[in-house]
Amino acid sequence: MQYKYRVAPWDTNIWIGTLLMLGDGIAFLLFGSIMLKIAISVIYCVAIFPLVLGTGLPLGYTLSEQDIVIRQITNITIKLSDIQSIALMGRLIPLSRLGNGGLFGYTGEFTLENEEKVMASCTRWTNVVRIKTHNTTYIISPSGPTEFCQKVNSFIRPTQALC
């Protein structure tokens, strides 16, 4: 059986960044000169939309008895047998990034304040789930992080419960 989880609602930074980015582009397209309109159109088509689509916006998460699937443009599958630890995290502070840092979500590689490198596919930095595997640490933001973590533990043998 599969359980589907929505992504958590956007945090304030995503709302502000997304609205400013889209608002600026629309304002320039409506009120700018023809050269500015062409330039903005090219920037959106060549840089902004491919960046957002290419980094894989988080669309949701699917949990089954075998794996967790991070649903995005190119899905990421994490086998439950590969999970070393899973934890609910209160608030994370990203220091640097190589990916999308707030336009419709946080996706890509980030370095946290404790210098840990993580792959993020989330819509906020509070109340997130940290999944550590043998070679990668993932940060995701399901809408019910506690229930998600409990469900993962129910699929893992009780002697291996991780959170």
- For residues 128 and 58, is the Cβ–Cβ distance under 8 A? no
pLDDT band at 92 (very low <50, low <70, confident <90, very high): confident
105 Cβ contact list (under 8 Å, min separation 6): 7, 10, 14, 57, 58, 121, 122, 123
**Domain positions in the chain:** 1-163
Residue 153 pLDDT greater than 70, yes or no: yes
When pLDDT is cut at 50, 70 and 90, the band that residue 99 belongs to is: low
Higher pLDDT, 33 or 132: 132
Instruction: Quote the pLDDT of residue 147.
Output: 93
Q: Cβ contacts of residue 87 below 8 Å, gap of 6+?
A: 129, 130, 149, 162, 163
Q: Is the pLDDT of residue 158 over 70?
A: no
Q: What is the pLDDT of residues 54-72, one digit of tens each?
A: 556 788 899 999 999 998 8
Amino acid at 86: I
Whose structure tokens read 């957002």? 52
- Higher local confidence (pLDDT), 147 or 30: 147
* Coil vs helix vs strand at 33: coil
pLDDT at 93: 78
pLDDT of residue 52: 56
Neighbours of 30 (CB within 10 A): 8
For residue 116, which of 136, 134, 102 has the smallest C-alpha distance? 136
pLDDT, mean of residues 141-151: 92
- The residues near 113 (Cβ < 8 Å, ≥ 6 apart) are 92, 93, 94, 95
Residue with the larger pLDDT of the pair 93 and 154: 154
Of the chain, the percentage scoring pLDDT greater than 90 comes to 24
Residue 113 has what pLDDT? Answer: 83
